[in-house]
Structure 1
């Protein structure tokens, strides 16, 4: 019978030797996962940097994030080549540039440089244009730089200082453009109507009415009513008018009234002839306007026979509507039709004029 071997407890030296042999064998057989080795190498690399180096890296990362956020928010100013800016990405509200004002602006920029940067937004890649940016504000400054570049050929006019704005909402861009020009120069009614129509056509607003109410929110109701009239002139006759900015308020309102009655065909036929100047252009359309003004007003609308003239107004049977502004609206009915009665201290001539324009627009044929 074989004699059993007595087991002995290994010494510390024996344990160290066994562990070292095991480490060599497992490493040589590739039992360490690659990701483990990568993590170990990365940790070793990070541990070699000093505390100051790691703090500097953290500061650089924070600065980079703040810079990126500032660029996203449109807070950074940069130099942009003139040839990558589309000045007509948003149709301008001022269709004519005063030659004297442009000369003064060019002289000022040449002597003192550009004090105020222009504002642009980045165009989508599928915009179908070679330009990269669309102009929001600073049309005159951009045109002045282009004029100076053509005149002098100096390289300093090849780029212009600009702020790249995020185009979150198109209506905000149009409103900013209108506000800039309202401050610099009093826009004509036609120019106001023109930009309202174009803003709606480009999708910034659901329709022209919404554009007028937003772009000219601070204007009186009477002023917005006039802008609506000139907006209609631009929609119906804008492609034929050679001197629309020369239309006075009175002539424009008369022209709009003729359009509402249905004189568009006659007016377009009259404008097909070339006008020599603003007065000549008005002379072409005035006969058609006068024709509509001289037409007799037809009160009879047909339908059921009218009731006797003596029928009393039935104010008592209508429930009054009271508005938050203190104006009360009552509806009645007499022999001629329905009657609205407005009462209250808030009523004014401007309010009534605007209200009449709104009612007329509501009752016009689609």
Structure 2
């Protein structure tokens, strides 16, 4: 009886213990809640149908004789289109001046030089063209300009009169009765020695006879040989010295400028200004009638820096004899005390009963160059 009771007690104690152990077991971990789903509303974009834009590149048309210019531009022009018109007009204006000059002068090299002289004098734009009309059609705008012929003729005429026809210009008006410069055939037998050793006849028209000399309102009568300062200068042929500036003194800069202002007022270079001021320290050689049949010839060597003591008027000189040294006397840099622009200016004057002329006067530039190459060939 006691044993049965004890057994029941042990059984109950086991049940209670088991229940207590079960109650002490940790609970399973809590599951984290999933984040809520956020729904973002996106604005609906309505894409319109793209309309293609027609791009019109600026186009310019010029007539063959430069009389008219037409521009084709977009109907809605902007600053860039206006710049295109301005630049095109400036560029074509230069071409129109050259075209008109070439039509009159008939020497491409000379007409280019005269055009450059005009452009130098008119640093601002020359209004060669005047507005004619503007019309639109669809996406395009058409603008038309016409050459201002009356203005151009008025602008160019003084330059043509001064530089355009050198064959018609007398270099010593007081002594000209029948102006007739010698043709190429007249000097077909002429042969000379180069006035400087190892120098060459320049090809640039600006350095040859007939080129405009705007600074003195005159025409270039000789050849500019660009050699170093102090290069020996020699006689091109046998002859007699008729001028040798042994004791040369450079003139003041302001005095030279005053004389050039007078030349501008006259519209040509006075002979006294040219002979006594602008050529600087010089040597003149008389070759008599020996070089060119029926013409007395005189060679001129200008802008020297030194004349040898033995070179005096009346003295004989031989072909190739050194007479002095090159320099820049008579030029603006020389009046300012510098040696800039040193070169030898050489020319050959031809005289007959009708007047005085310079070698190459009025000749076509290319023919002149070829003839000078022949004359100075060994």
Could you tell me the TM-score, scaled by structure 1's length? 0.23
- Please tell me whether Structure 1 or Structure 2 has the larger radius of gyration of its CA atoms: 2
Bigger relative CO (Cα 8 Å, ≥ 6 apart)? 2
Higher normalized strand content (fraction of residues): 2
Could you tell me the TM-score, scaled by structure 2's length? 0.23
